[in-house]
Chain A
Amino acid sequence: MQKKIIYEIKSLYRDHFRVNGYEFGDGKKSVCIVGSTRGNEIQQLYICSQLVKAFKLLEQENRIKEGHRILIIPAVNPYSLNIKKRFWPTDNTDINRMFPGYNLGETTQRIAAGVFDVIKEYTYGMQFTSFYTPGKFTPHIRMMKAGFENTDLAKKFGMPYVVLRNTRPYDTTTLNYNWQIWETHAFSIYTTTTSQIDKESAQTAIRSILNFLSKENIVEYHGHEGYVSLVVEDTDMVPVRTKSAGIFESLVKAGDEIYRGQLLGQITDPYEGEITEQLYSPVDGMVFFAHDEPLTYADAAVYKLVAHEKV
């Protein structure tokens, strides 16, 4: 293992800003794993730290196949992690909206450029990332339909789901999209949580990466085989939206099997405690995403469901 500084800049009063990478094996640029890019992505950081630990062991036991170089970057934005701010401290920009970056541009463009310069041209790119709405997910691999996506490859992770979604204008500046443009097979990996550590789904993610790398003949690993992934289009998910706002209580959680007509959650009046709305499942299926904050707005998609048969 080799620990190295991927990118560094000086600050006026803070310690230097450093992006660290951990490199295992040697040979061609084979696998790059990126963790937290935002200050609230703690689970993403945790998973990478566990992966670094796992790869140390794999390396010691000579279980990394010859000719493969693996790079893990647990955090692209330690400055924001340290002050509990999601985006860049001084200008609130999002590093994951700055790729491929520009080394003569603004600060986060420079960071993105400095990091991308190192992490491009890997055969496989995996990123642990998060969504802007608060809630919990069923672990899944998310792929953008940028024209290069390979769902068969994604299934090799053995995650419960592979989700395909259409690209939106602002996606063109994400790491995932730019990896794909540079011909890296890019996968965004979502586990259950973001700002809290969830060990169970972290283990699922770690196993899935090791499974994938074992199937691609990059590491030797004989673990739990994982799931037979179901490929779903984002647009096929069934949203359950609130009509009223108030205190939200969920009776189900991400990953739960649910049936048509099942009570999923309810909203109560924040002053008088009366139930103002009950949310029922319109399908037989599974809870893919569940809002997990105690308050909700109206018109919020508090659940996303995967239906077992098409509705």
Chain B
Amino acid sequence: MIKTIASVKMPVDEILQIKKHRLIPDGKPLAGLKRISIVTGIHGDELEGQYVCFELIRRIQAQRESLTGIVDIYPAMNPLGIDSITRGIPAFDLDMNRIFPGNQDGDMMEYLANQIIDDLVGSDVCIDIHASNIYLTEIPQIRINELHKERLIPLAEKANVDFIWVHGANTVLESTLAHSLNSRNTPTLVVEMGVGMRITKSYCLQLTEGILNLMRELGIWQGETIPPRRPIVSEHPDDVCYLNASMAGVFIPHVKHWEKLKTGDLIGRIIDPLKGEILDEIRAPIDGHLFTIREYPIVDAGSLIGRLLRVDHS
């Protein structure tokens, strides 16, 4: 069943609609059933979640009898952004993930944000799928605000991701969808995986398995699932090492994503195509797993090149 959860009239013969697909067990009353909500497309240039939504619906529909709860799928929270290859909300240059929880009586965007929250609140778990941005590739990971870690880590561990990153509280993040839902007693996991403007099929399938596994744990799915990967859980800020470009140039990577590096290993070079020179070499400052790597080659001084997760030798 496809339902429009919010709509706004646009100036010229168009209605902006945010839609969800609800999958329910055949012929059963809904009262008392557990509900999982899958959300994606808040950032219009992040597309990895598109294939997860498709694959999840396909798997469920192929085995309807195994569905014992409610699955709500929202593939396009920012439909105008997805259509126009725009990260934010087109025409406003506004990051949609900075306007929650919104306001019922507010402007169009605040109103949409509020409708979205209203529809999602009460889910037993919500998964908000992001795809980094166009600059960086991420291995499948779940990011958790330390304020909500007790409740969220056990859920995240079932989601078949490689890494769980518990980060510090940050006031700016209070206006995200995940924070708004978590503070309304609706546990929400933020997935970051892959890269903007692309679909990495293997990651999408990995997460789909994870979602099915989580559904099984919650009693929403009775079908077969695979045992989830055991993710590395990082709770200390010192575990993550940021690599920033020292100068502007073109970044040429030398290693692959999620490679385990030793201190001093070459990660990549910043080159100057005009002069034909190597401007800088980026080397691993610690032993660690490269869980983020630069995808978009052009860098300014300061551009993020990658992130290393410290390997513990103790």
Chain B 259-280 near chain A by CB (<8 Å), digits 1 or 0: 0000000000000101000000
Say if the beta carbon of A10 comes within 8 Å of chain B: yes
Across the interface, which residues of B come within 8 angstroms of A295, CB to CB?
Answer: 11-12
Instruction: Answer yes or no: B9 CB below 8 A from chain A CBs.
Output: yes
> Chain B residue with minimal CB distance to A267?
B11
Tell me the minimal C-beta distance from A77 to chain B in angstroms: 13
**Chain A residue total in the interface (Cβ 8 A):** 39
Asked if A299 and B8 sit within 8 Å, CB to CB, the answer is: yes
Chain B residues with Cβ below 8 Å from A105 are 242, 244, 302
The smallest beta-carbon distance between A181 and chain B, in angstroms, is 12
B108 and A90 form a contact (CB under 8 A): no
Indicate if A168 sits at the interface (CB-CB under 8 A).
yes
Inter-chain contact B13/A300, CB cutoff 8 Å: no
For residue B31, CB closer than 8 A to chain A, the reply is: no
From known contacts A107-B303, A110-B301, A300-B108, infer whether A12 and B249 are also in contact, taking CB-CB under 8 Å. yes
Q: Could you tell me if A298 and B8 are in contact, using CB atoms closer than 8 angstroms? A: yes
Question: Would you give the 0/1 interface string for A241-268, flagging 1 where the beta carbon is closer than 8 Å to chain B?
Answer: 1001111000000000000000000000
Q: Does A173 contact B (CB under 8 A)?
A: yes
Q: Which of B16-40 contact A (CB under 8 A)?
A: none
How many Å from the CB of A42 to the closest CB on chain B? 16
Q: Which residue of A lies closest to B134 (CB)?
A: A91
- Whether B301 contacts A301 by the Cβ 8 Å rule is no
Interface size class of B (residues with CB under 8 A): 35 or more
Of B67-75, B91-99, B148-156, B185-193, the one with at least 4 CB within 8 A of chain A = B91-99
A278 at the interface (CB under 8 A from B): no
Within 8 A of B (CB), among A5-19: 9-13
Binary per-residue interface labels of chain A (161-194) against chain B in the complex, 1 for a CB within 8 Å, 0 otherwise: 0000000111011000000000000000000000
A133 on the interface (CB 8 Å rule)? Answer: yes
Distance in Å: Cβ of B190 to nearest Cβ of chain A: 16
Across the interface, do B301 and A270 meet the contact criterion of CB distance under 8 Å?
Answer: no
A92 CA / B300 CA spacing, docked (Å): 13
Whole-angstrom distance between the alpha carbons of A91 and B298 in the complex?
Answer: 10
What is the CB-to-nearest-CB distance from A8 to chain B, in angstroms, rounded to a whole number? 10
B5 at the interface (CB under 8 A from A): no
Contacts A107-B302, A168-B175; A297 near B248 (Cβ below 8 A): no
Determine the distance from Cα of A217 to Cα of B94 in the docked complex, in whole angstroms: 41
CB atoms of A10 and B248 under 8 A apart:
yes
A245 touches B302 (CB 8 A): no
Give me the interface of B with A, judged by CB distance under 8 Å: 8-13, 87-88, 92-94, 98, 106-108, 111, 133, 135, 171-175, 242, 244, 247-250, 272, 274, 298, 300-304
